[in-house]
Amino acid sequence: MENIGEVVINKVKAEALSIIKDAEARAREEREEAKRQRELKLQEEKQKVLREAREEATRIVAQASIKSRQELSNAKNAVINKLTDRIRQDLSEISSNENYSMNLIQEAVEATSASKIRIYVPPRSVDTTRKLLKSNKQLATRVTEVKEANFTGGIIAENIDGTLRIDNSYESRLEMLLPILLPEISNKFFKTP
> How much is the pLDDT for 66?
95
> How much is the pLDDT for 97?
63
Count of domains for the chain = 2
Domain holding 86, by residue range, is: 1-94
Mean pLDDT across the stretch 123-152? 88
Residues 172 and 109 in one domain: yes
Query: Which of residues 94, 110, 135 is at a domain's end?
Result: 94
Q: Confidence band (pLDDT; 50, 70, 90) for 62? A: very high
Q: Confidence band (pLDDT; 50, 70, 90) for 67? A: very high
Burial 35-67 (b: 16+ CB within 10 A, else e): eeeeeeeeeeeeeeeeeeeeeeeeeeeeeeeee
Q: Residue 158's domain is classified under what CATH number?
A: 3.30.2320.30
Q: Confidence band (pLDDT; 50, 70, 90) for 95? A: low
Q: What is the pTM of this model?
A: 0.58
CA distances from 109 to 47, 59, 85 (A): 78, 61, 29
> How much is the pLDDT for 138?
85
Query: Which of residues 77, 94, 111 is at a domain's end?
Result: 94
Q: Nearest CA to 125 among 172, 168, 174, 175?
A: 168
Mean pLDDT across the stretch 164-174? 89
> How much is the pLDDT for 145?
92
- With beta carbons less than 8 A apart as the criterion, state whether 157 and 105 touch: yes
162 belongs to a structural domain: yes
